[in-house]
Structure 1
Amino acid sequence: MPVSDLDAAPGSTSSLRAANQRRLLDVLRGGTDAFTQAELSRATGLAPATVSNIVRELAAQGLVDSAPGSGRRGSSVRLSQSAGVVYGIDFGHSHVAVAVGDLSGSVLAERRHTGDAGVDHRAALELARGLLADLDTGPAPLRAVALGLPAPMAGDVITSASIFPGWEDVNARAATEEVFGAPAHVENDANLGALAEHRGGAGRGHDSSVFVKTSSGVGAGIILGNELFHGAQGTAGEIGHLTLDEQGPPCRCGKRGCLEAYTATPFVRQKLAGQLPGADDVDGVVAAARSGNVAALRALEEAGMHLGRGLAGVVNLLNPAIVVVGGDMARAGDLLLEPVRIGLRRHALDPVATTPVLRSELGGRASLVGAVLLAAERTPLVV
């Protein structure tokens, strides 16, 4: 039964109207399909007459499109693309991916460039702007940009030159706003992957999950209570720098024996150096393993076992409903994931040792999709 409009928000009539508009827009933003006015009334708890008035007001502002249906309350309503678009940018050590999305967080167009994008932040942002310029965004205004970076963030700043060179001590938000002339939001790339998998990938339907991105580095994004968990300093999820062995191989963070040094793509390539000619990337290693090459199989198994050991501490501490593995290494599928599960069972407490470990459904697009979602969700539609 609809709640009274007077219960929606305290204050003046204008603040109540704005609160009701936000409530309706939040419902529209959370869906990919159009809603009927009757569905919006049920979803928001607002009276049908109130919904009709809000739809009429928002349509006049160009924020929603309303198409005739069976009766006034059967008309379909969706966010209007003319209300604006957002940009998502995902930087990696060997790629930059860009996308244009609408205000519901849906990706409209995207493009990926393979090559070093971390040498200089200014050049990297200009490269991203050039890639986005090639995508047809139509006349809709740019409302926000979200940027994913593969490094620990202290606020909007990367403090370690060794982890992502060219961006150290740079206020990434301010630099992005200067290039694009729109509000910017900066996030760790694994956090963006966690957001995307939670909303529309392997983690959907779970209120807690851990997304692990293992590529040239290793990091995790944590969802608790359906929200990203950042920690006090914003560096929650940096599992790649858990120490497995103080006497182990050096890590690019400056320490030794980090989980990343045993599970990231450089580890696998190093293990196979001289044993597997032509396998210069993950796809080559995976192809060799699937054809039965013992050295490739062993390298993936060892990486997976180490990752499972590291994840055991995570699931012991957080007890997430699910663990999702993404990044380049996840292209190995169960050749990597089954050893991860074995390592997890071996090192985790019995109640959590069988925590499901699944492959990312969004694959290499997870962080980019998350960037579009973040930009859309942080764009206010009603002032």
Structure 2
Amino acid sequence: MGTPRLRFPARHTRCRCQGRQSRCSRRSSRSCRASSSPRRSPAREASTRIVRSGSAKSRLPAEGFLAVDVGGSSVKSGVVVEGRVEKLAREPVAPDLGGLVAQLERLAAQAEGWGVCVPGLVEGGTVRYAANLPLRDAPLLELLTPRPLVFVNDLVAATVGEAAGGTLALLQVGTGIAARLAVDGKVLPGGEVGHLRFRGDGPPCRCGNRGCVEAYLREAGSPTDDALEAIGFAAAALVAVWDPGTLRLGGGVAEAWGNVLLDAVRKAVAERVLPGTAINVEPTRLGDAAALVGLAELARSAT
């Protein structure tokens, strides 16, 4: 028996090869996903949507832009000047919404222009859900004074910073685990690979399931075989789907585990992904500064 063919929705009309491949089976069919974009749910798009509260081009201060990155355990801040982060600081994150608002307003009090990124599902100016922070349907943006120029998901900001206008995937391994893809500097929706179920009988996850990749990460205080295999599984899945060319690993855990994690991901990708897939797995280039640089770039490019 021959290999069954997958059929795609009829609205797709032409192949990504644009007919250049003489043996392309999709040239005259209506089966290619490249000709039109599938409909995206609001939930998938929300975490890539960027909220800007004004025209930033004319408002970015010459002495630098204050960027603030709220994480699951700490808040990083720094002044971004021409793509460089100065006065980088870190402090514990506040335990509740009121405390977080006060913390952010204190950091931004002396700034002429600033932006902030937060983890979780960000929709408009509201944090709908953040697994590692006590934020549920929190209207954070409207509570902040002064109002930030940019308000966005933290991984989106970090991916913009790392991509620097190019194409790559960023897998962030820290308090949680998730990924984003940038194509020509624009971040696309999707990437919640931390909640792929690695093993059905695995440890319980905060999301309510068992055996999620993130559950293995949380259970491990060190790079255990199970944790490394789970993260490698997630990395291979996103490479298989996105084929980004470059995959960078970032986040506090990725930094702490270093080459052990890099080697595990490279091995998993080599074993699980279609042979011949060209992928370069490497550490992030900006490290802790990625989201801060990304916030400044988003503010600079605002219209």
Measure the CA separation in 2 of the matches of 1:183 and 1:329. 29
* Stretches of structure 2 lacking an aligned partner (at least 5 in a row): 1-56
Q: Identify the match of residue 223 of structure 1 among 173, 182, 199.
A: 182
Partner of 1:209: 168
Q: TM-score, normalised by structure 1?
A: 0.58
**Sequence identity, in percent?**
26
Partner of 2:96: 120
CA deviation profile, 1:126-164 (whole Å, cap 9, x unmatched): 21332455x7x6xxxx24x32211212234333236x04
Q: Identify the match of residue 250 of structure 1 among 186, 201, 204.
A: 204
Maintained 8 Å contact 2:171/2:250:
yes
Instruction: Using the TM superposition, give the Cα deviation of residue 85 of structure 1 relative to its aligned residue in structure 2, in angstroms.
Output: 4.6
Question: Quick check: which has more Rg, 1 or 2?
Answer: 1
Q: Identify the match of residue 350 of structure 1 among 272, 275, 289.
A: 275
Distance 1:351 1:155, change over 3 A: farther
SS in 2 for 1:153: strand
Partner of 1:324: 248
SS in 2 for 1:351: coil
Q: Identify the match of residue 315 of structure 1 among 218, 225, 239.
A: 239
Measure the CA separation in 1 of the matches of 2:244 and 2:86. 32
Maintained 8 Å contact 1:159/1:168:
yes
For the pair 1:237 / 2:237, whether they are aligned, the reply is no
Matching residue's letter, 1:267: E
Maintained 8 Å contact 2:220/2:227:
yes
- Higher strand proportion (structure 1 or 2): 2
Q: Identify the match of residue 230 of structure 2 among 295, 301, 306.
A: 306
Partner of 1:88: 67
CA deviation profile, 1:262-290 (whole Å, cap 9, x unmatched): 2x3x2222xxxxxxxxxxxxxxx5xxxxx
Distance 1:83 1:333, change over 3 A: closer
Maintained 8 Å contact 2:236/2:265:
no
CA deviation profile, 1:174-221 (whole Å, cap 9, x unmatched): 223xx22x344222211111111111xxxx7xx321101111100112
Measure the CA separation in 2 of the matches of 1:81 and 1:228. 22
Instruction: Using the TM superposition, give the Cα deviation of residue 316 of structure 1 relative to its aligned residue in structure 2, in angstroms.
Output: 1.3
Measure the CA separation in 2 of the matches of 1:376 and 1:106. 14
For the pair 1:156 / 2:125, whether they are aligned, the reply is yes
For the pair 1:359 / 2:283, whether they are aligned, the reply is yes
CA deviation profile, 1:300-355 (whole Å, cap 9, x unmatched): x4423221211222111111010000001122221111011111111111132x51
Pairs aligned (count): 247
SS in 2 for 1:159: strand
Q: Identify the match of residue 98 of structure 1 among 77, 87, 93.
A: 77
User: What root-mean-square deviation, in Å, do the aligned CA atoms of Structure 1 and Structure 2 show?
Assistant: 2.8
Measure the CA separation in 2 of the matches of 1:100 and 1:314. 33
Measure the CA separation in 2 of the matches of 1:217 and 1:184. 26
Measure the CA separation in 1 of the matches of 2:263 and 2:133. 34
Matching residue's letter, 2:215: A
Matching residue's letter, 2:143: A
CA deviation profile, 1:219-258 (whole Å, cap 9, x unmatched): 112102331113xxxxx22111112223321111122211
Measure the CA separation in 2 of the matches of 1:335 and 1:82. 41
Partner of 1:191: 156
Maintained 8 Å contact 2:85/2:289:
no
SS in 2 for 1:257: coil
Matching residue's letter, 2:298: L
Distance 1:82 1:213, change over 3 A: closer
Measure the CA separation in 1 of the matches of 2:119 and 2:195. 13
* Stretches of structure 1 lacking an aligned partner (at least 5 in a row): 1-63, 65-78, 231-235, 270-284, 286-295
CA deviation profile, 1:21-49 (whole Å, cap 9, x unmatched): xxxxxxxxxxxxxxxxxxxxxxxxxxxxx
Maintained 8 Å contact 1:195/1:370:
yes
Q: Identify the match of residue 260 of structure 2 among 325, 335, 338.
A: 335
Distance 1:173 1:351, change over 3 A: farther
